[in-house]
Amino acid sequence: MSNLHVIILAAGQGTRMKSALPKVLHAIAGKPMLGHVLDTARGIAAGACHVVYGHGGDQVQAWHAAAHPDDLSVRWAHQAKQLGTGHAVNQAAPQVPDDATILIAYGDVPLISTETLTALAAAGAESLAVVTVSLAQPRGYGRILRNAAGEVTGIVEENDADDTQRLINEVNTGLMAAPARLLKPWLQRIGNGNKKGEYYLTDIVGFAVSDGIAVKTVNAQDAAEVEGVNDRVQLAQQERAYQQRQAVRLMREGVQFADPSRFDLRGLLLAGKDVFIDVGVIIEGVCELGDGVRVGAYSVLKNVTLGANTQVLTHSVLEGLKAGANCRIGPFARVRPDSLFADEVHIGNFVEVKKGQLGEATKAGHLAYIGDAMVGARVNISAGVITCNYDGVNKHLTVIGDDAFIGTDSQLVAPVTIERNAYVAAGSTITKTAPADALTICRARDQKSIAGWKKPKRKDRQPDA
């Protein structure tokens, strides 16, 4: 809704984080908390987002400029002194048109859902609406006050609550929405006559009641989505809550986890049928896994596409790879960006591929480096093979034709071509074209043996000074 303006409070110093980094830039699933809130606001089609910044504001704005250089929907409001939530909202409110709806969110409440904010915006279009949640242990939260008819009459902060009021378990989350034409005058009426001397946003509930405006409530079904982060313990708790939410969603879509509590998603995962993910796997960026893909324990996948029935074995690190069907990768393999594997490629343990195109059924079983290379189909790359792609200044291309065999411990010094069906003997250093249908062998001309040579002896260890 284009007439919806979201004000996000993000000015707090976050002293309990004990960090030089502004609190709202601490990450959940690899993304700053503020980033999660902004993404959710975009998900409800907010016309504009107004971020109220204070402590570390330069860092916050720099992060946003780097992460979203083309985003013009975010506007900034500076809160020079942190004088309470009412004061914070008042820094941004003048930027909002009077005919808009204002929704107030928090940069340190990262798991708020699109569904809850959508319901809040609808409830606050013509009235004041607040999000509440019932907690078994409500300590630290403002309590929702209701009359005998169940109508909201106010919110009392814990510091100002009496013993009876502190027994109330329905609490204020701080999330509110109201028409700007109502909210702006209420903000001007807020005083600071309380124990902390701050301007509490919650005072507007009393103003609405006194003005005869009904106060609507939206109940958050999931307490985790409205919990704020004040220290690193709570940050870790929100991380686990987020990951559990993602794992449940993926399992309902058909993904099988060896243990959903030991899985981390830091981006977007698109998975086909019967995908299996073992423990300790980290998914980053945008990854797409075809039907029947299996990902082994403690592997990391970033911006990877894997075809049907491809297997990634344990402790492999893949980034920027697009692989076909029935490939076998790992264990302990590393694939770097801009790599492309055809069907049935096998990359084994301690093989590294960087910007490599590998044809169908090509194999590199172990202990090889394939960088800046175009490799044909059914090529065998033996142990210890290196494409020497860097001359100290520039990168160069190695081309290997179909059905070639590269013997153990060979070096291919790029730019160089190994033609189709060529056979390179073990231990060769190839600097010129290896012709098709021929054995190419390169050996050192001079071999020396030094008589009487003895291996070094271990020196006695000197005592510490």
220 and 236 in a single domain? The answer is: no
The string of pLDDT tens digits covering residues 32-47 is: 999 999 999 999 989 9
CATH code for the domain in which residue 404 is found: 2.160.10.10
Using the 3D structure, point to which of 199, 226, 253 is the last residue of a domain: 226
Q: How many CA atoms lie within 13 A of 17 on its CB side?
A: 18
330 and 360 in a single domain? The answer is: yes
Task: Look at residue 449 and tell me whether its pLDDT is greater than 50.
Answer: no
Residue type at position 309: N
Mean pLDDT of 98-113: 96
**Which structure tokens are listed for 115?**
């569904």
Q: Does residue 453 lie within any of the structural domains?
A: no
Q: Does residue 457 lie within any of the structural domains?
A: no
Question: What pTM does this model have?
Answer: 0.87
**Which structure tokens are listed for 16?**
């309990």
Buried/exposed 296-305: b ≥16 CB within 10 Å, e otherwise: bbbbbbbbbb
122 and 252 in a single domain? The answer is: no
Give the chain's domain count: 2
193 and 273 in a single domain? The answer is: no
243 and 187 in a single domain? The answer is: no
Please provide the size of the chain in residues.
Answer: 465
Task: Look at residue 462 and tell me whether its pLDDT is greater than 60.
Answer: no
Beta-carbon contacts of 103 under 8 Å, excluding residues fewer than 6 positions away, are 4, 5, 6, 7, 41, 46, 117, 120, 121, 124, 175, 176, 177
3-state secondary structure of 189: helix
295 and 403 in a single domain? The answer is: yes
Task: Look at residue 255 and tell me whether its pLDDT is greater than 70.
Answer: yes
Domain range for residue 252? Answer: 232-440
pLDDT at residue 460, rounded to an integer: 66
Which of the four pLDDT bands, split at 50, 70 and 90, describes residue 391? Answer: confident
Give yes or no for a contact between 105 and 193, defined as CB atoms under 8 angstroms apart.
no
18 and 122 in a single domain? The answer is: yes
Q: Does residue 455 lie within any of the structural domains?
A: no
Task: Look at residue 454 and tell me whether its pLDDT is greater than 80.
Answer: no
Q: Does residue 459 lie within any of the structural domains?
A: no
Question: Considering the chain, what percentage of its residues have pLDDT values greater than 70?
Answer: 96
SS3 content of the chain, % helix, strand, coil (to 5): 20, 35, 45
184 and 206 in a single domain? The answer is: yes
141 and 280 in a single domain? The answer is: no
Q: Does residue 104 lie within any of the structural domains?
A: yes
Q: Does residue 356 lie within any of the structural domains?
A: yes
277 and 418 in a single domain? The answer is: yes
Query: Between these two residues, 32 and 157, which has the higher pLDDT value?
Result: 32
Say whether 366 is catalytic.
yes
Report the DSSP beta bridge partners of residue 217: 130
CATH code for the domain in which residue 90 is found: 3.90.550.10
Selected catalytic residue, list 55, 68, 315, 366? 366
Mean pLDDT of 435-442: 93
